[in-house]
Amino acid sequence: MKKLINLLFAIILLTTQNIFAQNPVKLKRADCFFGVHFDLHATEEITNAGESLTEMMIDTFLTKVKPDFIQIDCKGHPGITSYPTKVGYSVKGFQKDPLRLFRDVTNRHNVGLYMHYSGVWDTKAVTEHPDWAILQANGEKSKTKTSFASPYLDELMIPELKELSSIYHVDGAWIDGECWAVEPDYRDDIVALWKQKTGFSEVPKLRTDKYYHEYMAFIRSLFHVHLKKYIDAIHAFDPDFQITSNWSYSSMMPEPVDVNVDFISGDVTPQNGVFRSAFEARCIAPQGKPWDLMAWGFSWNGKDMPMSNKSAVQLKQETAEIMAMGGGVQFYFTQNRDLSIRPWIVNTVAELSAFCRERQAFVHKATPIPQIAIVYPASYLKESNSPFSPNTNALQGTLNALLDNQFCAEILMEHHLKGKVENYPVIVVPECKSMSDETKQLLVEYAKSGGNLLVTGPGVSTIFKEELGITSTETGKEQQIFILADNRLGAVSTAIFETKSIPQTEVLGWFYSGNDLRDKTQNASVTSKKLGKGTISAVYFDAGSSYQQYKTPVIRDLLGETINRTFQNQLVKVEGSKLVHVAANTKNGKTYINLVNVAGEHTNQTAIGYDQVPALHDLTVSISSKNKPSKIVLQPGVKVINFSYSNGISTLVIPKLEIHTILEIQN
């Protein structure tokens, strides 16, 4: 078998066309664009680690794929290392040292080597040291999660990271099982600290208990201490060690960056990776750190779904959404149980590499041009039922509806707003229950100064009731109601605002009690009102969460009509299909318009793999600019495209959009 595997890799190497040369220099993670992630979450019973892994196997992979970096298994959630650690707990048997082999070959290629290392989640650590485990609300010790009050960092995690640096000289680590794995901890020492810091005698354990959300905030604060401690420790030990905590400072941890992570990263959930990648990229991009996102190379829900490989086409579509926002990309494939690489992966990843590399010059580290900003409400985290990973369905649905309208949309967390809001012609606040007085005042002043503010849902409408000029009562229960958009009625299940009076406010739409235009109610679905030099508009139902749960074009069109009414001077407009996502960026003084084809089966939860994305044809694109461009070029491929220019608008037709194309505007 070993000879057969080596033969397969030799054939791949010999038959490779356009083989990339060895990297001239090893890039810092901040400058990396394309990488590959391998892991297997090693378990103790492995006795043949490294058995069929060879230098030729790694060399062939790096030669053909030419990544900027790779991440490989080191210690997964089981807490078992796949290298012969002298600190912790490793697999039972090694035929050779896999990590040494990977390090030697990646050094020859000037390819960065990063470790997949599980942090908070360490099953072996709490098995061997039950006193290191968190105490759950039911009084039982966790079998998987370590406590922030335990010596886990000092006695295991930090020493192992130092071991990886000093013995193997790896370039860094991608710490998995972190913020998203954090759970409430009720150990005596944790509870005593809670009482000391807050002065509260109550210890909330149920979501309905008093101070429950305050306890979640307390646990979050302990994670920040945990994160800072090990990152500062490894930086002090090895200043060149580049490290991050998976999903920190992302949609799952929507907070200002207060710990010196070297980059931000996360692995996008494998199902519906297209829309999820678009969302996650927009959450991370404004955080001010180098970043990348990881696309899973297979579909899997961890339950009954077969673990099925994704095609290169499927992964290209997901990756296009990440690249369009300026991020780096990486692809996740599992290793064999002996740490070897599966031969079939090489050709798939090489195809992905070629797709990404030919776009790199136009997308990597590009800066979005402000058009529409969607606010990520801080209340999502404050009101979350867990320390991290708040419910973002309303935010995701709002973004999806705007992207499906071909709007260029970004996501700004509340801490991003100050000093930035004035750059955006439109700001959208998705449904939420509360908002700080400071944020509300900032948004009101934004509108009064000439901005266009759109709020959606009964909760936000209540917050801005005075500015909207309405008096109304929320029904308080979900109901089926009909809305009208693009001369079509459509049903939504949602709570609504029953508008009682609308002085000096223009009604743009009404609710309908039935599926007939004669069923119009006296309650407005959409209103708009002048506010100083700008406008404030409202949609009086949960449009985002409704679109996320049951996608209907009527919600999409209602939001589109509402925004188009006040957003007159859009940078880009696309006609010909609703299956296009648009992102407008600047890089090196040039404007780049990304067009992503989102057709296909990615939203079908039963389609765990697909290998075709229907092309879109004859798209009309209008681009606003003060002066006529000298030329407009389709990239990649440097294809000059004909266009007309009139009244500040360049108009052109794209005959065919397969997956992702970029319009380079040259002045």
Could you give the 3-state DSSP secondary structure of residue 154?
Answer: helix
d(C-alpha 110, C-alpha 515), whole Å: 64
Give the torsion through C-alpha atoms of 608, 613, 619, 622, to 10 deg. Answer: 50
Peptide bond into 614 cis (omega under 30): no
d(C-alpha 489, C-alpha 472), whole Å: 24
- Amino acid 19: pLDDT: 42
Region 88-113: mean pLDDT is: 98
- Amino acid 18: pLDDT: 39
Whether 256 has a pLDDT exceeding 60, the answer reads: yes
Neighbours of 484 (CB within 10 A): 20
pLDDT tens by residue, 102-131:
999 999 999 999 999 999 999 999 999 999
**Percent above pLDDT 70 for the chain:** 96
User: Could you tell me which residue, 430 or 1, shows the higher pLDDT?
Assistant: 430
Query: H helices of 238-342, where?
Result: 273-284, 312-323
Whether 216 has a pLDDT exceeding 50, the answer reads: yes
Nearest to 357 by CA among 29, 26, 27, 67: 67
| Alpha-carbon distances, residue 468 vs 149, 263, 472 (angstroms) | 49, 41, 11
SS (H, E, C) 553-615: HHHHHHHHHHHHHHCCCCCEEEECCCCEEEEEEEECCEEEEEEEECCCCCCCCCCCCCCCCCC
Q: Are 264 and 192 in contact (CB under 8 A)?
A: no
Structure tokens at 561: 């009509």
Q: Are 528 and 508 in contact (CB under 8 A)?
A: yes
Phi, psi (rounded to 5 degrees) for 420: -120, -25
Distance of CA 50 to the CA centre of its chain: 33
Nearest to 270 by CA among 222, 303, 245, 235: 303
Q: Which residue carries 């890089």 as its tokens?
A: 587
- Amino acid 271: pLDDT: 85
Q: Are 632 and 652 in contact (CB under 8 A)?
A: yes
Q: Give the pTM.
A: 0.95
Q: Are 330 and 37 in contact (CB under 8 A)?
A: yes
pLDDT tens by residue, 631-643:
999 999 999 999 9
d(C-alpha 489, C-alpha 518), whole Å: 11
pLDDT tens by residue, 9-45:
555 554 443 344 468 899 999 999 999 999 999 999 9
d(C-alpha 511, C-alpha 495), whole Å: 12
Structure tokens at 124: 């072996």
d(C-alpha 295, C-alpha 277), whole Å: 8
Whether 3 has a pLDDT exceeding 80, the answer reads: no
Q: Please give the mean pLDDT across all residues of the chain.
A: 94
Structure tokens at 414: 């509340």
- Amino acid 507: pLDDT: 94
pLDDT tens by residue, 599-652:
999 888 788 889 999 999 999 999 999 999 999 999 999 999 999 999 999 999
- Amino acid 613: pLDDT: 96
pLDDT tens by residue, 478-523:
889 999 999 999 999 998 888 877 778 999 999 999 999 999 999 9
- Amino acid 431: pLDDT: 96
- Amino acid 21: pLDDT: 41
- Amino acid 20: pLDDT: 41
Highest mean pLDDT among 5-9, 307-311, 347-351: 347-351
Structure tokens at 339: 């740490």
Nearest to 75 by CA among 25, 106, 28, 40: 40
Q: Are 160 and 122 in contact (CB under 8 A)?
A: no
List, in sequence order, every beta strand (DSSP E) within 81-149. Answer: 112-118, 133-135, 141-146
Neighbours of 421 (CB within 10 A): 21
Task: Encode burial over 77-93: b for 16+ CB neighbours within 10 A, e otherwise.
Answer: bbbbbbbbbebbbbbee
Whether 283 has a pLDDT exceeding 50, the answer reads: yes
d(C-alpha 366, C-alpha 376), whole Å: 22
Q: Between helices 344-363 and 2-15, what is the axis angle to 10°?
A: 40
- Amino acid 5: pLDDT: 54
- Amino acid 269: pLDDT: 86
Whether 2 has a pLDDT exceeding 60, the answer reads: no
- Amino acid 602: pLDDT: 87
